[in-house]
Structure 1
Amino acid sequence: MASFREKVVLVTGASSGIGEATAYKLAEHGATLFLVALEEDKLQIVQQKCREKGLAEEQIGYCSGDLSKSAFREEIVRNLIQKFGRLDILADIAGSVLFSSVSETKEEDYDRFVNVNQKAKLFLAQLCLPYLKETKGNIIYLSSICSTIPLPTIVVYCMAKVAIDMLTKCLAKELGPHGVRVNAINPGYIVDTNILRNSTLKTTDEDQKKYADTAAEQAHLKRVGKPSDVVSLLLFLASDEASYITGSINYIDGGYHLYP
Protein backbone atom coordinates (compact mmCIF):
# COMPACT_ATOMS: atom_id res chain seq x y z
CA MET A 1 0.00 0.00 0.00
CA ALA A 2 1.28 3.43 -0.95
CA SER A 3 2.20 5.83 1.82
CA PHE A 4 -0.20 8.58 2.88
CA ARG A 5 2.43 10.46 4.86
CA GLU A 6 2.30 13.52 2.61
CA LYS A 7 -1.51 13.51 2.31
CA VAL A 8 -4.17 15.54 4.11
CA VAL A 9 -7.44 13.61 4.30
CA LEU A 10 -10.90 14.90 5.25
CA VAL A 11 -13.02 12.05 6.64
CA THR A 12 -16.75 12.57 7.31
CA GLY A 13 -18.69 10.15 9.49
CA ALA A 14 -15.45 9.55 11.38
CA SER A 15 -16.91 8.78 14.82
CA SER A 16 -18.15 5.23 14.15
CA GLY A 17 -18.32 2.29 11.76
CA ILE A 18 -16.58 2.56 8.41
CA GLY A 19 -15.57 6.19 8.95
CA GLU A 20 -13.93 5.39 12.27
CA ALA A 21 -12.13 2.37 10.78
CA THR A 22 -10.95 4.55 7.89
CA ALA A 23 -9.50 7.11 10.30
CA TYR A 24 -7.55 4.45 12.19
CA LYS A 25 -6.13 2.82 9.07
CA LEU A 26 -5.11 6.16 7.58
CA ALA A 27 -3.47 7.04 10.90
CA GLU A 28 -1.45 3.82 10.70
CA HIS A 29 -0.30 4.91 7.23
CA GLY A 30 0.77 8.34 8.47
CA ALA A 31 -1.92 10.51 6.88
CA THR A 32 -2.73 13.92 8.28
CA LEU A 33 -6.41 13.78 9.26
CA PHE A 34 -9.30 16.18 9.60
CA LEU A 35 -12.23 14.28 11.14
CA VAL A 36 -15.89 15.26 10.94
CA ALA A 37 -18.96 13.82 12.69
CA LEU A 38 -22.05 14.91 14.57
CA GLU A 39 -20.96 14.12 18.14
CA GLU A 40 -17.86 15.84 19.51
CA ASP A 41 -17.29 13.44 22.41
CA LYS A 42 -17.02 10.48 20.05
CA LEU A 43 -14.71 12.41 17.72
CA GLN A 44 -12.40 13.17 20.63
CA ILE A 45 -12.13 9.44 21.37
CA VAL A 46 -11.28 8.68 17.74
CA GLN A 47 -8.73 11.49 17.71
CA GLN A 48 -7.03 10.06 20.80
CA LYS A 49 -6.90 6.57 19.29
CA CYS A 50 -5.36 8.00 16.11
CA ARG A 51 -2.62 9.52 18.25
CA GLU A 52 -2.08 6.13 19.87
CA LYS A 53 -1.53 4.73 16.37
CA GLY A 54 1.37 7.10 15.85
CA LEU A 55 0.04 10.43 14.66
CA ALA A 56 1.34 13.59 16.29
CA GLU A 57 -1.22 15.93 17.81
CA GLU A 58 -0.57 18.51 15.09
CA GLN A 59 -1.48 15.92 12.43
CA ILE A 60 -5.11 15.64 13.56
CA GLY A 61 -7.95 18.12 13.54
CA TYR A 62 -11.68 17.69 13.92
CA CYS A 63 -14.97 19.53 13.61
CA SER A 64 -18.33 18.38 14.97
CA GLY A 65 -21.72 19.42 13.69
CA ASP A 66 -24.59 18.91 11.27
CA LEU A 67 -23.51 18.41 7.66
CA SER A 68 -26.91 19.51 6.42
CA LYS A 69 -26.03 23.08 7.47
CA SER A 70 -24.15 25.15 4.90
CA ALA A 71 -22.44 27.19 7.62
CA PHE A 72 -21.01 24.02 9.15
CA ARG A 73 -19.72 22.76 5.81
CA GLU A 74 -17.99 26.11 5.31
CA GLU A 75 -16.55 25.88 8.82
CA ILE A 76 -15.11 22.45 8.06
CA VAL A 77 -13.18 23.56 5.00
CA ARG A 78 -12.13 26.89 6.52
CA ASN A 79 -10.73 25.21 9.65
CA LEU A 80 -9.05 22.44 7.66
CA ILE A 81 -7.23 24.87 5.36
CA GLN A 82 -6.27 27.16 8.23
CA LYS A 83 -4.76 24.20 10.09
CA PHE A 84 -3.12 22.23 7.28
CA GLY A 85 -3.01 24.54 4.23
CA ARG A 86 -4.04 21.87 1.74
CA LEU A 87 -6.42 18.99 0.99
CA ASP A 88 -5.52 15.84 -0.91
CA ILE A 89 -8.42 13.44 -0.28
CA LEU A 90 -12.08 13.82 0.62
CA ALA A 91 -13.44 10.56 2.06
CA ASP A 92 -17.14 11.39 2.37
CA ILE A 93 -18.46 8.48 4.42
CA ALA A 94 -21.16 10.06 6.60
CA GLY A 95 -24.63 8.64 6.11
CA SER A 96 -27.72 7.09 7.63
CA VAL A 97 -30.71 5.00 6.58
CA LEU A 98 -34.41 5.84 6.63
CA PHE A 99 -36.76 2.87 6.85
CA SER A 100 -39.91 3.98 5.07
CA SER A 101 -41.88 3.02 1.96
CA VAL A 102 -43.37 5.54 -0.46
CA SER A 103 -46.77 5.27 1.22
CA GLU A 104 -45.25 5.87 4.68
CA THR A 105 -42.67 8.58 3.99
CA LYS A 106 -43.28 11.97 5.57
CA GLU A 107 -42.06 15.02 3.70
CA GLU A 108 -40.17 16.40 6.69
CA ASP A 109 -38.33 13.07 7.13
CA TYR A 110 -37.50 13.04 3.42
CA ASP A 111 -36.11 16.57 3.54
CA ARG A 112 -34.03 15.86 6.65
CA PHE A 113 -32.59 12.68 5.16
CA VAL A 114 -31.80 14.09 1.72
CA ASN A 115 -30.16 17.19 3.17
CA VAL A 116 -27.52 15.06 4.91
CA ASN A 117 -27.23 12.05 2.62
CA GLN A 118 -27.41 13.75 -0.76
CA LYS A 119 -27.36 17.56 -0.79
CA ALA A 120 -24.44 17.83 1.64
CA LYS A 121 -22.34 15.55 -0.58
CA LEU A 122 -22.51 17.91 -3.53
CA PHE A 123 -21.95 21.14 -1.62
CA LEU A 124 -19.13 19.85 0.57
CA ALA A 125 -17.36 18.70 -2.59
CA GLN A 126 -17.98 22.12 -4.15
CA LEU A 127 -16.17 23.79 -1.25
CA CYS A 128 -13.27 21.31 -1.50
CA LEU A 129 -12.76 21.52 -5.27
CA PRO A 130 -10.32 24.46 -5.41
CA TYR A 131 -7.98 22.72 -2.99
CA LEU A 132 -8.29 19.28 -4.60
CA LYS A 133 -7.45 20.82 -7.97
CA GLU A 134 -4.28 22.31 -6.48
CA THR A 135 -3.09 18.93 -5.19
CA LYS A 136 -4.59 16.82 -8.00
CA GLY A 137 -6.30 14.92 -5.24
CA ASN A 138 -9.32 12.66 -5.19
CA ILE A 139 -12.75 12.04 -3.72
CA ILE A 140 -14.16 8.77 -2.38
CA TYR A 141 -17.90 8.51 -1.77
CA LEU A 142 -19.56 5.80 0.26
CA SER A 143 -22.60 4.66 -1.70
CA SER A 144 -24.41 1.31 -1.46
CA ILE A 145 -25.55 -1.69 -3.47
CA CYS A 146 -29.01 -0.24 -2.85
CA SER A 147 -28.30 2.18 -5.70
CA THR A 148 -28.97 -0.72 -8.07
CA ILE A 149 -31.24 -3.02 -6.04
CA PRO A 150 -34.74 -1.63 -5.37
CA LEU A 151 -35.83 -2.12 -1.77
CA PRO A 152 -39.26 -0.54 -1.20
CA THR A 153 -38.83 -0.40 2.59
CA ILE A 154 -35.92 2.06 2.25
CA VAL A 155 -36.97 3.90 -0.90
CA VAL A 156 -35.46 7.28 0.04
CA TYR A 157 -32.16 5.65 0.95
CA CYS A 158 -32.07 3.88 -2.43
CA MET A 159 -32.80 7.15 -4.21
CA ALA A 160 -30.02 8.96 -2.35
CA LYS A 161 -27.48 6.28 -3.24
CA VAL A 162 -28.43 6.49 -6.93
CA ALA A 163 -27.73 10.21 -6.66
CA ILE A 164 -24.31 9.58 -5.11
CA ASP A 165 -23.38 7.20 -7.93
CA MET A 166 -24.34 9.80 -10.53
CA LEU A 167 -22.56 12.56 -8.61
CA THR A 168 -19.46 10.37 -8.69
CA LYS A 169 -19.63 9.99 -12.47
CA CYS A 170 -20.46 13.63 -13.18
CA LEU A 171 -17.70 14.92 -10.92
CA ALA A 172 -15.22 12.47 -12.45
CA LYS A 173 -15.95 13.91 -15.90
CA GLU A 174 -15.82 17.50 -14.67
CA LEU A 175 -12.62 17.11 -12.68
CA GLY A 176 -10.71 14.68 -14.89
CA PRO A 177 -9.05 17.47 -16.92
CA HIS A 178 -7.79 18.91 -13.61
CA GLY A 179 -6.20 15.60 -12.60
CA VAL A 180 -8.74 14.97 -9.82
CA ARG A 181 -10.21 11.47 -9.51
CA VAL A 182 -13.64 10.60 -8.09
CA ASN A 183 -14.81 7.09 -7.19
CA ALA A 184 -17.59 5.43 -5.19
CA ILE A 185 -17.63 2.37 -2.94
CA ASN A 186 -20.93 0.47 -2.78
CA PRO A 187 -20.98 -1.93 0.16
CA GLY A 188 -23.49 -4.59 0.99
CA TYR A 189 -24.29 -5.38 4.62
CA ILE A 190 -21.38 -4.42 6.87
CA VAL A 191 -21.27 -5.51 10.51
CA ASP A 192 -19.97 -3.43 13.43
CA THR A 193 -21.53 -0.17 12.32
CA ASN A 194 -24.27 1.92 13.93
CA ILE A 195 -26.28 2.54 10.77
CA LEU A 196 -29.18 0.31 11.84
CA ARG A 197 -29.05 1.28 15.51
CA ASN A 198 -29.22 4.95 14.54
CA SER A 199 -32.09 4.40 12.09
CA THR A 200 -35.77 4.71 12.81
CA LEU A 201 -35.79 0.98 13.57
CA LYS A 202 -33.65 1.41 16.72
CA THR A 203 -32.42 -2.16 16.30
CA THR A 204 -31.24 -4.33 19.18
CA ASP A 205 -28.22 -6.64 19.11
CA GLU A 206 -30.57 -9.52 18.36
CA ASP A 207 -32.07 -7.62 15.43
CA GLN A 208 -28.57 -6.87 14.13
CA LYS A 209 -27.71 -10.56 14.21
CA LYS A 210 -30.84 -11.45 12.24
CA TYR A 211 -30.00 -8.89 9.57
CA ALA A 212 -26.42 -10.16 9.42
CA ASP A 213 -27.49 -13.80 9.11
CA THR A 214 -29.89 -12.94 6.28
CA ALA A 215 -27.26 -10.88 4.48
CA ALA A 216 -24.69 -13.67 4.79
CA GLU A 217 -27.11 -16.15 3.25
CA GLN A 218 -27.85 -13.81 0.34
CA ALA A 219 -24.19 -13.08 -0.42
CA HIS A 220 -22.48 -15.55 -2.74
CA LEU A 221 -19.43 -15.59 -0.47
CA LYS A 222 -21.79 -16.60 2.39
CA ARG A 223 -20.58 -14.01 4.86
CA VAL A 224 -21.20 -10.39 5.73
CA GLY A 225 -18.66 -7.65 5.23
CA LYS A 226 -16.50 -5.99 7.85
CA PRO A 227 -15.44 -2.34 7.99
CA SER A 228 -11.89 -3.47 7.22
CA ASP A 229 -13.08 -4.92 3.89
CA VAL A 230 -14.38 -1.51 2.84
CA VAL A 231 -11.39 0.40 4.21
CA SER A 232 -8.93 -1.74 2.25
CA LEU A 233 -10.68 -0.80 -0.98
CA LEU A 234 -10.97 2.83 0.05
CA LEU A 235 -7.27 3.14 0.76
CA PHE A 236 -6.41 1.61 -2.61
CA LEU A 237 -8.75 3.94 -4.52
CA ALA A 238 -7.46 6.96 -2.59
CA SER A 239 -3.81 6.06 -3.16
CA ASP A 240 -1.54 6.87 -6.08
CA GLU A 241 -1.66 3.17 -6.96
CA ALA A 242 -5.15 3.83 -8.39
CA SER A 243 -4.02 6.86 -10.39
CA TYR A 244 -5.81 5.72 -13.58
CA ILE A 245 -9.14 4.88 -11.93
CA THR A 246 -11.91 7.47 -11.89
CA GLY A 247 -15.68 7.48 -12.22
CA SER A 248 -15.86 3.88 -10.98
CA ILE A 249 -18.68 2.33 -8.94
CA ASN A 250 -17.14 -0.43 -6.85
CA TYR A 251 -19.33 -3.15 -5.32
CA ILE A 252 -18.05 -4.77 -2.16
CA ASP A 253 -20.86 -7.05 -1.12
CA GLY A 254 -19.77 -10.68 -1.36
CA GLY A 255 -21.55 -10.93 -4.72
CA TYR A 256 -24.98 -9.89 -3.44
CA HIS A 257 -25.49 -7.53 -6.41
CA LEU A 258 -25.46 -10.58 -8.72
CA TYR A 259 -28.99 -11.42 -7.58
CA PRO A 260 -31.58 -12.30 -8.70
Structure 2
Amino acid sequence: MPNLRDMVCLVTGASRGVGKGTAMQLADNGATCYITGRSLDRLVSVQEEARENGLSGKVVPVQCDHANDREVEELFELIARENNGRLDLLVNNATAANAWAFEHSDECFWDQPLDSWDIMNRVGLRNNYLCAVHASRLMVKQRRGLIVNISSIAGVSVQTPVLSVCKVGLDRMAWDCAQDLKKYDVACISFWPGLVRTEMVQEAKDAFIARSKTFAWIYEHSESSQFTGRCISHLLVDPDLMKKTGKILLSSDVAADFNFKDVDGRSPVSMRSIKSIVGSGGSTGLAECIPECFKLPLWLFTSMATLVKQLPKQTSRYE
Protein backbone atom coordinates (compact mmCIF):
# COMPACT_ATOMS: atom_id res chain seq x y z
CA MET A 1 0.00 0.00 0.00
CA PRO A 2 1.15 3.61 -0.54
CA ASN A 3 3.24 5.41 2.05
CA LEU A 4 1.25 8.44 3.23
CA ARG A 5 3.55 9.40 6.08
CA ASP A 6 3.61 13.18 6.73
CA MET A 7 0.42 13.70 4.72
CA VAL A 8 -2.49 15.59 6.30
CA CYS A 9 -5.96 14.37 5.41
CA LEU A 10 -9.54 15.25 6.31
CA VAL A 11 -12.45 12.84 6.01
CA THR A 12 -15.82 14.38 6.83
CA GLY A 13 -18.63 12.26 8.24
CA ALA A 14 -16.24 9.58 9.47
CA SER A 15 -17.81 8.18 12.61
CA ARG A 16 -18.98 5.11 10.70
CA GLY A 17 -19.48 3.64 7.23
CA VAL A 18 -17.38 4.68 4.24
CA GLY A 19 -15.99 7.68 6.09
CA LYS A 20 -14.70 5.61 8.98
CA GLY A 21 -13.30 2.92 6.70
CA THR A 22 -11.55 5.51 4.54
CA ALA A 23 -10.00 7.22 7.56
CA MET A 24 -8.76 3.91 8.95
CA GLN A 25 -7.07 3.05 5.65
CA LEU A 26 -5.43 6.48 5.35
CA ALA A 27 -4.11 6.22 8.90
CA ASP A 28 -2.99 2.64 8.30
CA ASN A 29 -0.88 3.96 5.44
CA GLY A 30 0.77 6.55 7.69
CA ALA A 31 -1.34 9.69 7.25
CA THR A 32 -2.52 12.08 9.92
CA CYS A 33 -6.25 11.90 9.34
CA TYR A 34 -8.72 14.37 10.82
CA ILE A 35 -12.23 12.95 11.10
CA THR A 36 -15.49 14.80 11.72
CA GLY A 37 -18.99 14.05 12.87
CA ARG A 38 -21.63 15.34 15.23
CA SER A 39 -20.94 12.75 17.94
CA LEU A 40 -17.58 13.19 19.65
CA ASP A 41 -17.99 9.87 21.46
CA ARG A 42 -18.24 7.99 18.15
CA LEU A 43 -15.25 9.84 16.73
CA VAL A 44 -13.15 9.07 19.80
CA SER A 45 -14.18 5.42 19.44
CA VAL A 46 -12.77 5.44 15.89
CA GLN A 47 -9.55 7.00 17.21
CA GLU A 48 -9.25 4.34 19.92
CA GLU A 49 -9.86 1.57 17.38
CA ALA A 50 -7.06 2.97 15.22
CA ARG A 51 -4.69 2.94 18.21
CA GLU A 52 -5.68 -0.59 19.20
CA ASN A 53 -4.99 -1.78 15.66
CA GLY A 54 -1.52 -0.23 15.77
CA LEU A 55 -1.98 1.94 12.70
CA SER A 56 1.19 3.74 11.64
CA GLY A 57 -0.56 7.10 11.23
CA LYS A 58 -3.03 8.77 13.55
CA VAL A 59 -6.69 9.67 13.67
CA VAL A 60 -7.65 13.09 15.04
CA PRO A 61 -11.34 13.49 16.00
CA VAL A 62 -12.98 16.90 15.60
CA GLN A 63 -16.63 17.36 16.51
CA CYS A 64 -18.30 19.33 13.73
CA ASP A 65 -21.86 19.86 12.63
CA HIS A 66 -21.53 20.25 8.87
CA ALA A 67 -24.84 22.09 8.74
CA ASN A 68 -23.15 24.88 10.71
CA ASP A 69 -20.99 27.06 8.44
CA ARG A 70 -19.00 28.56 11.31
CA GLU A 71 -18.07 25.15 12.71
CA VAL A 72 -16.90 24.10 9.25
CA GLU A 73 -14.75 27.23 8.96
CA GLU A 74 -13.25 26.59 12.41
CA LEU A 75 -12.43 23.03 11.38
CA PHE A 76 -10.21 24.20 8.53
CA GLU A 77 -8.67 26.91 10.70
CA LEU A 78 -7.73 24.20 13.22
CA ILE A 79 -6.15 21.96 10.58
CA ALA A 80 -4.19 24.87 9.10
CA ARG A 81 -3.01 26.02 12.53
CA GLU A 82 -1.85 22.57 13.63
CA ASN A 83 -0.11 21.68 10.34
CA ASN A 84 1.47 24.92 9.21
CA GLY A 85 -1.20 25.45 6.58
CA ARG A 86 -0.87 21.98 5.07
CA LEU A 87 -3.75 19.87 3.81
CA ASP A 88 -3.12 17.13 1.26
CA LEU A 89 -6.55 15.52 1.00
CA LEU A 90 -10.20 16.35 1.57
CA VAL A 91 -12.72 13.53 1.35
CA ASN A 92 -16.22 15.03 1.15
CA ASN A 93 -18.22 12.22 2.70
CA ALA A 94 -20.47 14.00 5.22
CA THR A 95 -24.20 13.57 4.78
CA ALA A 96 -27.18 13.91 7.07
CA ALA A 97 -29.33 11.66 4.95
CA ASN A 98 -28.16 8.05 5.34
CA ALA A 99 -31.02 7.22 7.68
CA TRP A 100 -33.40 9.20 5.47
CA ALA A 101 -32.41 7.20 2.40
CA PHE A 102 -33.09 3.89 4.12
CA GLU A 103 -36.47 5.09 5.42
CA HIS A 104 -37.82 7.05 2.45
CA SER A 105 -36.01 6.39 -0.84
CA ASP A 106 -38.45 3.63 -1.78
CA GLU A 107 -41.36 6.06 -1.50
CA CYS A 108 -42.74 8.20 -4.32
CA PHE A 109 -41.34 11.70 -3.94
CA TRP A 110 -44.72 13.22 -3.07
CA ASP A 111 -45.01 10.81 -0.12
CA GLN A 112 -41.66 11.86 1.34
CA PRO A 113 -41.39 14.50 4.11
CA LEU A 114 -41.56 18.06 2.80
CA ASP A 115 -38.14 18.89 4.26
CA SER A 116 -36.46 16.04 2.35
CA TRP A 117 -34.66 18.42 0.00
CA ASP A 118 -32.89 20.21 2.85
CA ILE A 119 -32.15 17.00 4.74
CA MET A 120 -30.43 15.53 1.69
CA ASN A 121 -28.74 18.56 0.17
CA ARG A 122 -27.81 20.99 2.94
CA VAL A 123 -25.01 18.73 4.18
CA GLY A 124 -24.75 16.23 1.33
CA LEU A 125 -24.21 18.90 -1.34
CA ARG A 126 -24.02 22.48 -0.02
CA ASN A 127 -21.61 21.66 2.80
CA ASN A 128 -19.38 19.65 0.49
CA TYR A 129 -19.05 22.72 -1.69
CA LEU A 130 -18.10 24.86 1.33
CA CYS A 131 -15.51 22.29 2.41
CA ALA A 132 -14.07 22.30 -1.11
CA VAL A 133 -13.80 26.10 -0.94
CA HIS A 134 -11.91 26.04 2.38
CA ALA A 135 -9.69 23.16 1.31
CA SER A 136 -8.85 24.81 -2.01
CA ARG A 137 -7.65 27.96 -0.27
CA LEU A 138 -5.05 25.87 1.55
CA MET A 139 -4.14 23.59 -1.35
CA VAL A 140 -3.73 26.35 -3.93
CA LYS A 141 -1.08 27.98 -1.75
CA GLN A 142 0.93 24.77 -1.53
CA ARG A 143 0.38 23.88 -5.23
CA ARG A 144 -0.78 20.34 -4.48
CA GLY A 145 -3.76 18.47 -3.09
CA LEU A 146 -6.71 16.21 -3.84
CA ILE A 147 -10.42 16.76 -3.21
CA VAL A 148 -12.67 13.70 -3.45
CA ASN A 149 -16.46 13.91 -3.55
CA ILE A 150 -18.02 10.64 -2.45
CA SER A 151 -20.87 10.26 -4.91
CA SER A 152 -22.63 7.25 -6.45
CA ILE A 153 -24.43 5.83 -9.44
CA ALA A 154 -27.60 7.47 -8.05
CA GLY A 155 -26.70 10.56 -10.07
CA VAL A 156 -27.47 8.78 -13.35
CA SER A 157 -29.82 5.93 -12.41
CA VAL A 158 -33.50 6.06 -11.59
CA GLN A 159 -33.70 7.03 -7.94
CA THR A 160 -35.70 9.54 -5.97
CA PRO A 161 -35.28 13.20 -7.03
CA VAL A 162 -33.60 14.65 -3.95
CA LEU A 163 -31.02 11.85 -3.86
CA SER A 164 -30.31 12.01 -7.60
CA VAL A 165 -29.90 15.80 -7.54
CA CYS A 166 -27.43 15.52 -4.67
CA LYS A 167 -25.24 12.96 -6.41
CA VAL A 168 -25.29 14.47 -9.88
CA GLY A 169 -24.48 17.81 -8.21
CA LEU A 170 -21.38 16.27 -6.62
CA ASP A 171 -20.30 14.86 -9.98
CA ARG A 172 -20.71 18.18 -11.76
CA MET A 173 -19.09 20.08 -8.89
CA ALA A 174 -15.96 17.94 -9.22
CA TRP A 175 -15.74 18.75 -12.93
CA ASP A 176 -16.19 22.50 -12.51
CA CYS A 177 -13.89 22.79 -9.48
CA ALA A 178 -11.23 20.86 -11.35
CA GLN A 179 -11.16 23.45 -14.13
CA ASP A 180 -10.20 26.24 -11.73
CA LEU A 181 -7.81 24.10 -9.69
CA LYS A 182 -5.80 22.32 -12.39
CA LYS A 183 -3.29 25.14 -12.98
CA TYR A 184 -2.37 24.89 -9.29
CA ASP A 185 -1.81 21.10 -9.51
CA VAL A 186 -4.78 20.46 -7.25
CA ALA A 187 -7.08 17.64 -8.37
CA CYS A 188 -10.79 17.23 -7.77
CA ILE A 189 -12.64 14.02 -8.60
CA SER A 190 -16.01 12.40 -8.02
CA PHE A 191 -15.74 8.89 -6.62
CA TRP A 192 -18.33 6.14 -6.97
CA PRO A 193 -18.10 3.17 -4.61
CA GLY A 194 -20.20 0.16 -5.42
CA LEU A 195 -22.52 -1.30 -2.82
CA VAL A 196 -20.64 -0.95 0.47
CA ARG A 197 -21.18 -3.23 3.44
CA THR A 198 -21.64 -0.38 5.88
CA GLU A 199 -23.20 -0.95 9.28
CA MET A 200 -26.58 0.27 8.00
CA VAL A 201 -26.48 -1.93 4.91
CA GLN A 202 -25.63 -4.99 7.00
CA GLU A 203 -28.47 -4.26 9.39
CA ALA A 204 -30.94 -3.82 6.52
CA LYS A 205 -29.66 -6.74 4.42
CA ASP A 206 -32.41 -9.21 5.29
CA ALA A 207 -35.14 -6.66 4.64
CA PHE A 208 -33.67 -5.82 1.23
CA ILE A 209 -33.32 -9.50 0.32
CA ALA A 210 -36.96 -10.05 1.28
CA ARG A 211 -37.98 -7.38 -1.23
CA SER A 212 -35.53 -8.37 -3.95
CA LYS A 213 -33.81 -11.75 -4.25
CA THR A 214 -31.24 -10.13 -6.54
CA PHE A 215 -29.95 -8.09 -3.61
CA ALA A 216 -28.38 -11.21 -2.09
CA TRP A 217 -26.18 -11.60 -5.19
CA ILE A 218 -25.29 -7.89 -5.22
CA TYR A 219 -24.41 -8.02 -1.52
CA GLU A 220 -22.19 -11.06 -2.04
CA HIS A 221 -20.17 -9.10 -4.63
CA SER A 222 -20.05 -5.84 -2.67
CA GLU A 223 -17.10 -4.03 -1.08
CA SER A 224 -15.97 -3.34 2.46
CA SER A 225 -16.13 0.11 4.01
CA GLN A 226 -12.31 0.31 3.77
CA PHE A 227 -12.11 -0.32 0.02
CA THR A 228 -12.70 3.36 -0.78
CA GLY A 229 -9.80 4.28 1.50
CA ARG A 230 -7.52 1.91 -0.37
CA CYS A 231 -8.51 3.53 -3.64
CA ILE A 232 -7.97 7.07 -2.39
CA SER A 233 -4.61 6.17 -0.85
CA HIS A 234 -3.35 5.10 -4.27
CA LEU A 235 -4.78 8.16 -5.98
CA LEU A 236 -3.13 10.46 -3.46
CA VAL A 237 0.36 9.37 -4.55
CA ASP A 238 -0.45 8.78 -8.21
CA PRO A 239 2.06 10.70 -10.40
CA ASP A 240 -0.62 10.85 -13.12
CA LEU A 241 -3.32 12.18 -10.81
CA MET A 242 -3.84 15.41 -12.75
CA LYS A 243 -4.86 13.38 -15.80
CA LYS A 244 -7.81 12.12 -13.76
CA THR A 245 -8.94 15.47 -12.36
CA GLY A 246 -12.58 16.38 -12.98
CA LYS A 247 -13.51 12.80 -13.78
CA ILE A 248 -15.84 10.27 -12.23
CA LEU A 249 -13.82 7.31 -10.95
CA LEU A 250 -15.32 3.97 -9.95
CA SER A 251 -13.80 2.09 -7.03
CA SER A 252 -13.39 -1.12 -9.01
CA ASP A 253 -11.63 0.72 -11.85
CA VAL A 254 -9.14 2.30 -9.46
CA ALA A 255 -8.43 -1.10 -7.91
CA ALA A 256 -7.86 -2.60 -11.36
CA ASP A 257 -5.57 0.26 -12.40
CA PHE A 258 -3.37 -0.12 -9.32
CA ASN A 259 -3.77 -3.90 -9.00
CA PHE A 260 -4.98 -4.27 -5.42
CA LYS A 261 -7.84 -6.10 -3.70
CA ASP A 262 -10.21 -5.42 -0.85
CA VAL A 263 -9.16 -5.97 2.77
CA ASP A 264 -10.71 -9.46 2.68
CA GLY A 265 -8.60 -10.43 -0.33
CA ARG A 266 -11.52 -10.34 -2.77
CA SER A 267 -12.13 -8.07 -5.76
CA PRO A 268 -15.60 -6.48 -5.66
CA VAL A 269 -17.41 -6.82 -8.96
CA SER A 270 -17.22 -3.77 -11.23
CA MET A 271 -20.49 -1.92 -11.85
CA ARG A 272 -19.38 -1.55 -15.49
CA SER A 273 -18.91 -5.27 -16.00
CA ILE A 274 -21.39 -7.35 -17.99
CA LYS A 275 -21.27 -9.75 -15.05
CA SER A 276 -22.61 -7.08 -12.69
CA ILE A 277 -25.23 -5.80 -15.12
CA VAL A 278 -26.60 -9.30 -15.76
CA GLY A 279 -26.48 -10.27 -12.08
CA SER A 280 -28.13 -7.03 -10.95
CA GLY A 281 -30.83 -7.62 -13.53
CA GLY A 282 -31.77 -10.90 -11.87
CA SER A 283 -29.92 -13.51 -13.96
CA THR A 284 -27.49 -14.38 -11.19
CA GLY A 285 -26.72 -17.88 -12.44
CA LEU A 286 -25.76 -16.61 -15.88
CA ALA A 287 -23.75 -13.80 -14.30
CA GLU A 288 -21.46 -16.27 -12.54
CA CYS A 289 -20.45 -17.67 -15.94
CA ILE A 290 -19.36 -14.29 -17.34
CA PRO A 291 -15.73 -13.18 -16.91
CA GLU A 292 -15.52 -9.80 -15.21
CA CYS A 293 -13.04 -8.50 -17.78
CA PHE A 294 -15.92 -7.73 -20.14
CA LYS A 295 -16.88 -4.15 -19.28
CA LEU A 296 -18.83 -1.31 -20.83
CA PRO A 297 -17.15 2.06 -21.42
CA LEU A 298 -18.15 4.48 -18.67
CA TRP A 299 -20.15 6.69 -21.05
CA LEU A 300 -22.21 3.72 -22.22
CA PHE A 301 -22.62 2.36 -18.71
CA THR A 302 -23.96 5.66 -17.38
CA SER A 303 -26.33 6.06 -20.33
CA MET A 304 -27.71 2.56 -19.65
CA ALA A 305 -27.93 2.99 -15.88
CA THR A 306 -31.59 3.94 -16.02
CA LEU A 307 -32.30 0.40 -17.24
CA VAL A 308 -30.89 -1.21 -14.10
CA LYS A 309 -33.68 -2.77 -12.08
CA GLN A 310 -34.36 -0.83 -8.87
CA LEU A 311 -36.00 -1.96 -5.67
CA PRO A 312 -39.78 -1.65 -6.05
CA LYS A 313 -41.49 1.51 -4.78
CA GLN A 314 -44.11 1.38 -2.06
CA THR A 315 -47.72 2.07 -3.00
CA SER A 316 -48.52 5.76 -2.64
CA ARG A 317 -50.92 6.64 0.14
CA TYR A 318 -52.46 9.22 -2.23
CA GLU A 319 -53.74 6.63 -4.72
Scaled to the shorter chain, the TM-score interval is 0.7 to 0.9
Question: Which deviations, in whole Å up to 9, do the C-alpha atoms of 1:202-246 show, x marking residues without a partner?
Answer: x64522555796345469xx7222223322222222223442321
Distance in 1 of aligned mates of 2:205 and 2:131: 34
Determine what percentage of the aligned residue pairs are the same residue: 23
- 2:223 corresponds, among 205, 222, 225, to 225
- Counterpart check, 1:127 vs 2:126: no
- In the other structure, the counterpart of 2:188 is 182
Structure 1 counterpart of 2:176, one-letter code: C
- In the other structure, the counterpart of 1:47 is 47
Deviates further, 16-25 or 91-100:
91-100
Equivalent pairs counted in the alignment come to: 248
Q: Which stretches of structure 1, 4 residues or longer, exceed 6 Å deviation after superposition?
A: none
- Counterpart check, 1:140 vs 2:148: yes
1:33 Cα deviation from its structure 2 partner:
1.3
Q: 1:212 to 1:35 in 2, by over 3 A?
A: farther
Distance in 1 of aligned mates of 2:2 and 2:89: 14
1:187 Cα deviation from its structure 2 partner:
2.1
- Root-mean-square deviation (Å): 2.5
Q: 1:147 to 1:40 in 2, by over 3 A?
A: same
1:128 Cα deviation from its structure 2 partner:
1.5
- 8 A contact 1:138–1:180 mirrored in 2: yes
- In the other structure, the counterpart of 2:11 is 11
Q: 1:215 to 1:168 in 2, by over 3 A?
A: farther
Task: Mark the runs of 5 or more structure 1 residues left unpaired by the alignment.
Answer: 198-202
Distance in 1 of aligned mates of 2:198 and 2:212: 10
Q: 1:171 to 1:210 in 2, by over 3 A?
A: farther
Distance in 2 of aligned mates of 1:179 and 1:210: 48
Structure 2 counterpart of 1:190, one-letter code: V
- 8 A contact 2:27–2:56 mirrored in 1: yes
1:112 Cα deviation from its structure 2 partner:
2.5
Question: Which deviations, in whole Å up to 9, do the C-alpha atoms of 1:19-51 show, x marking residues without a partner?
Answer: 111111111111011111121111001112223
* Matched position secondary structure for 1:227: coil
Task: Mark the runs of 5 or more structure 2 residues left unpaired by the alignment.
Answer: 252-268, 272-276, 278-300, 308-319
- 8 A contact 1:8–1:31 mirrored in 2: yes
Q: 1:126 to 1:213 in 2, by over 3 A?
A: farther
* Matched position secondary structure for 1:184: strand
- 8 A contact 1:183–1:237 mirrored in 2: no
Q: 1:60 to 1:218 in 2, by over 3 A?
A: closer
- In the other structure, the counterpart of 2:115 is 108
TM-score normalised to structure 2 length: 0.70
- In the other structure, the counterpart of 2:89 is 89
- 8 A contact 1:10–1:34 mirrored in 2: yes
Deviates further, 9-18 or 78-87:
78-87
- 8 A contact 1:173–1:247 mirrored in 2: yes
- Counterpart check, 1:164 vs 2:164: no
1:155 Cα deviation from its structure 2 partner:
2.3
Distance in 2 of aligned mates of 1:214 and 1:229: 22
- In the other structure, the counterpart of 2:30 is 30
TM-score normalised to structure 1 length: 0.85
Distance in 2 of aligned mates of 1:76 and 1:213: 44
1:168 Cα deviation from its structure 2 partner:
0.5
1:125 Cα deviation from its structure 2 partner:
1.1
* Matched position secondary structure for 2:189: strand
Distance in 2 of aligned mates of 1:45 and 1:172: 35
- 8 A contact 1:139–1:238 mirrored in 2: no
Distance in 1 of aligned mates of 2:147 and 2:15: 19
* Matched position secondary structure for 1:107: coil
